[in-house]
Structures are given as structure tokens and as C-alpha cells.
């Protein structure tokens, strides 16, 4: 690809992603749906203007790492402690049931291999904490009892999802499921989660000192992006996906992070807030490229839409994706309206589900037809729950406990 062609493609990707994201938001849909659709329109499915070139893929991978950094940055580990066993039950059942049902559906019903079925189940475990937070905030219920349970469960779901992603990554590069490789990855992941955040916290102290005396603007985003990329490289060296490094760096720099093993460092709230504010433009520049790339990688023309498989496959997984998350909320001791709204809030897969699906595609685990089915399920589970939640709160909001002040 010529340099001037790349500039034109990047221009089209960024502007189209923004336009479709704005349209999606005005239609009361998550912006990620608009960015995904932008890729479908630009790619081989409709217009065929842009192919998923290697350089775009590289920028998309940077977008994934920065996206997981933002997820880690927004993660409140203390929230899980405050909401207690209810969040734990919702997260564990909502994680295990879709994984088991998705695997069973792929392996025994559709006759897919064990590795493909594991990736299907893994993709269905995801919950998009970003979409969940946005919906609850729009409804002014993020501080309500059910909002606290949902956000606590989403925190744990994120951690479990990243660990599962590391396992699936190892299986994909190893060519199959191996208990020895799984044990090795789990040891590396635990060590990484314990040591990397502490290292990142210490490095952030050095960055803070330099930021206080630097007379050149831009030191903070430069050093934080460098830190994220370093931890992404370190995660790869330890045998885990690079995404894990971005998540760990974000977790460590979160204003709400507490170090394990009783180690406490003085927390500068203003410094942590500046990290969030100065990193957001960079994150929001790269992450749409990832979602557009997902759409570019999906060639709907190669899929026989008249084939019963794609529709039966998508519908079956859609039902599993919904029931698996709803079931987690049914096991806690709350009123039925609270249980239903908690279950609905855990359904959106969003960007987290797309990360799983994309890993399955680039590693050759998903063929185009299975990948398309997974993207359809992720899109539907991302689009419908926010709309249903708005309707539910409008009709049954008076039966829910009052929201606590922020």
C-alpha cells in the first residue's frame, strides 16, 4: 500500500466511524454498533472500498490494548467487596452458564470441535462494563442497589473474562486444549496480576515526579502510553495475550485501585484524574479503528444467508446469551423486578465480546460463517438490552428501591 493511499483509508475509517457512531447514539443504540456497521459498509460486505490490510490490523490491535486499558482504568475493585456475595453469585453464574451452554451447543448440537466450541462459550461469557455503566448512568441508577450489584458483578466478570481470554489465546497458538498449558497460563496470569500493578504503581510515582517539573506539554500521555505498551509486551513474553498488559496497566492506575498484600501508597486523586482526562482522546482515537476492522473482516457476501445453519446457529446462541446472564440474577435474594433488571444489565457483550470473537477469527479458530454468527449475536445482545431496560424502568421503576446519592 502506498503512503498516500493509507492516509486516505485512515481518513475514511475515522470519519465514517464517527458519523455512524453519532447516528447510532441518536437512535438510542451504543456507539460501538455504529462503528461496527461502518466497517461492514466500507468492507467487502457492501461497498468493498477498504480491505483489512495488515497496517490497519496493527492499529486495531493498539486500539484493543488501549480499550482494555480504559476498562481497567474504570474498574473499581473495592466495589466488589461492598456489594458482597450478590455480585459474586451474579458474576459466577453469569460467567459459567453461558460458557457451558455455548460449549455444549457448539460441540454436541452443531458438531464443532472442542476448541471452536470453547471459543464460542468464551465469547458468550463477556459483559461490556462500558455499555452497562453508560445505560445505568443515563437512567440515573448507577448508585441504586441494583446498579451497585451490577457494577460489582461486571468488575469480576471482566477479570474472569481476561483470564479466560489468556487461556483461549494459549489454546489457539498451541493448537488445542492442554491442561499443562492451562496451568502454566494461570500461574503466569496470577503472577502478572500481582506483580505488574505494583510495578506500574511505582512507575507512576516516577512519572508524577517528572510531570511536576517538566516544562514540555504532553509528558503524561506519552509516558502512560509507553507504560501500556511495555506491559503489553511483557504480557506476551510471559505467554499471555497483549490485552492483559493493557488491562493490568489500567487497573493499576485507576483512582479506585488498592494494592494487594497490604502495600499502600499515597494516592493522588488529581494525578489519577489527569491520567484519565489526557488518555481519553488517545483511546477514543484508536478504539474505533478496532471496531471498524471487525466489520471490515466480516464478508457477508461469502455467507449463504439462505442457509438454515447461520440463522439457527445465531438464534440458538442468542437465546443462550440471554438466558445465561438472566439466570445469574435469579439466584440472589432480591425482589423480582430487581432480579430482572440486574440480569438484563449483564447481557450486553459489546466491545468485550468482539475482542473474543476477533481473537477466534485471527487465530483461525472461527471460519467466516461461525464468525459472522458470533458478530450477529454480539450485535443483538448489545443493541436490545439498553432499549429493554429503558422500557422496564419506565414501566416498573416505581417498584425498585430508591437510588442512593452519589
What pLDDT score does 274 carry?
Answer: 80
Q: How confident is the model at residue 403 (pLDDT cuts 50, 70, 90)?
A: low
What pLDDT score does 248 carry?
Answer: 76
Q: How confident is the model at residue 393 (pLDDT cuts 50, 70, 90)?
A: confident
With 80 as the cut, is the pLDDT of residue 345 above it? yes
| CA proximity to 104, closest of 120, 88, 93 | 120
The predicted model gives 54-83 an average pLDDT of 77
Residue with cell 490491535: 61
Q: How confident is the model at residue 260 (pLDDT cuts 50, 70, 90)?
A: very low
- Highest mean pLDDT, choosing among 60-64, 338-342, 365-369: 338-342
With 60 as the cut, is the pLDDT of residue 265 above it? no
Q: Which three cell numbers stand for residue 203?
A: 512507575
Q: How confident is the model at residue 12 (pLDDT cuts 50, 70, 90)?
A: very high
Task: List all residues 6 or more positions away from 305 whose beta carbon is below 8 Å from its beta carbon.
Answer: none
Which fold would CATH assign to domain 3-399?
A: Na+/H+ antiporter like fold (1.20.1530)
Q: For residues 289 and 63, what is the distance between their CA atoms, to the nearest angstrom?
A: 7
Q: Is 269 exposed, middle or buried (0-12, 13-18, 19+ CB in 10 A)?
A: exposed
What pLDDT score does 76 carry?
Answer: 63
pLDDT above 90 coverage of the chain, percent: 23
Return the number of other C-beta atoms located less than 10 Å from residue 387's C-beta: 13
Q: For 174-195, how does the pLDDT look when each residue is reduced to its tens digit (9 = 90+)?
A: 766 667 767 777 777 777 767 7
Q: Structure pTM? A: 0.74
Residue with cell 467487596: 81
With 90 as the cut, is the pLDDT of residue 112 above it? yes
Where do the structural domains in the chain lie, given as residue ranges? 3-399
Residue bearing the bigger pLDDT, 209 or 108 = 108
With 60 as the cut, is the pLDDT of residue 24 above it? yes
Q: Which three cell numbers stand for residue 13?
A: 475509517
Q: For 280-322, how does the pLDDT look when each residue is reduced to its tens digit (9 = 90+)?
A: 899 889 989 988 988 888 777 877 777 788 899 999 999 999 9
With 90 as the cut, is the pLDDT of residue 70 above it? no
**CA count, 13 A, side-chain hemisphere, 208:** 17
Amino acid at each position: 500500500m502506498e503512503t498516500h493511499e493509507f492516509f486516505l483509508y485512515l481518513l475514511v475509517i475515522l470519519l465514517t466511524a464517527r458519523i455512524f457512531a453519532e447516528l447510532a447514539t441518536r437512535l438510542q443504540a451504543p456507539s460501538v454498533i455504529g462503528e461496527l456497521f461502518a466497517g461492514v459498509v466500507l468492507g467487502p460486505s457492501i461497498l468493498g472500498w477498504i480491505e483489512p490490510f495488515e497496517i490497519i490490523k496493527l492499529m486495531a490491535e493498539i486500539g484493543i490494548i488501549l480499550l482494555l486499558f480504559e476498562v481497567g482504568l474504570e474498574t473499581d475493585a473495592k466495589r466488589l467487596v461492598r456489594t458482597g456475595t450478590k455480585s459474586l453469585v451474579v458474576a459466577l453464574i453469569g460467567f459459567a452458564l453461558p460458557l457451558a451452554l455455548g460449549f455444549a451447543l457448539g460441540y454436541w448440537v452443531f458438531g464443532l470441535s472442542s476448541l471452536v466450541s470453547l471459543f464460542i462459550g468464551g465469547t458468550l461469557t463477556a459483559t461490556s462494563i462500558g455499555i452497562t455503566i453508560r445505560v445505568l448512568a443515563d437512567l440515573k441508577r448507577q448508585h441504586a442497589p441494583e446498579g451497585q450489584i451490577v457494577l460489582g458483578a461486571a468488575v469480576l466478570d471482566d477479570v474472569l473474562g481476561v483470564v479466560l481470554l489468556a487461556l483461549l489465546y494459549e489454546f489457539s497458538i498451541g493448537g488445542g486444549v492442554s491442561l499443562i498449558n492451562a496451568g502454566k497460563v494461570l500461574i503466569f496470569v496470577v503472577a502478572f496480576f500481582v506483580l505488574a500493578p505494583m510495578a506500574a504503581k511505582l512507575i507512576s510515582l516516577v512519572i508524577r515526579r517528572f510531570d511536576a517539573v517538566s516544562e514540555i506539554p504532553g509528558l503524561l500521555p506519552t509516558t502512560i502510553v509507553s507504560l501500556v505498551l511495555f506491559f503489553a509486551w511483557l504480557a506476551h513474553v510471559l505467554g499471555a495475550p497483549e490485552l492483559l498488559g493493557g488491562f493490568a496497566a489500567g487497573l493499576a492506575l485507576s483512582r479506585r485501585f488498592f494494592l494487594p498484600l497490604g502495600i499502600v501508597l499515597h494516592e493522588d486523586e488529581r494525578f489519577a484524574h489527569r491520567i484519565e482526562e489526557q488518555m481519553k482522546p488517545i483511546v477514543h482515537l484508536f478504539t474505533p479503528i478496532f471496531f471498524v476492522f471487525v466489520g471490515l473482516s466480516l464478508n457477508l457476501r461469502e455467507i449463504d444467508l439462505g442457509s438454515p445453519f447461520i440463522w439457527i446457529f445465531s438464534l440458538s446462541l442468542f437465546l443462550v446469551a440471554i438466558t445465561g446472564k438472566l439466570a445469574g440474577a435469579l439466584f440472589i435474594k432480591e425482589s423480582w423486578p430487581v432480579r430482572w433488571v440486574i440480569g438484563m444489565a449483564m447481557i450486553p457483550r459489546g466491545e468485550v465480546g468482539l475482542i473474543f470473537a476477533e481473537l477466534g477469527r485471527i487465530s483461525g479458530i472461527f471460519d467466516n460463517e461461525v464468525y459472522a454468527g458470533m458478530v450477529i449475536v454480539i450485535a443483538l445482545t448489545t443493541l436490545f438490552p439498553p432499549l429493554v431496560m429503558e422500557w422496564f424502568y419506565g414501566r416498573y421503576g416505581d417498584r425498585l428501591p430508591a437510588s442512593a446519592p452519589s
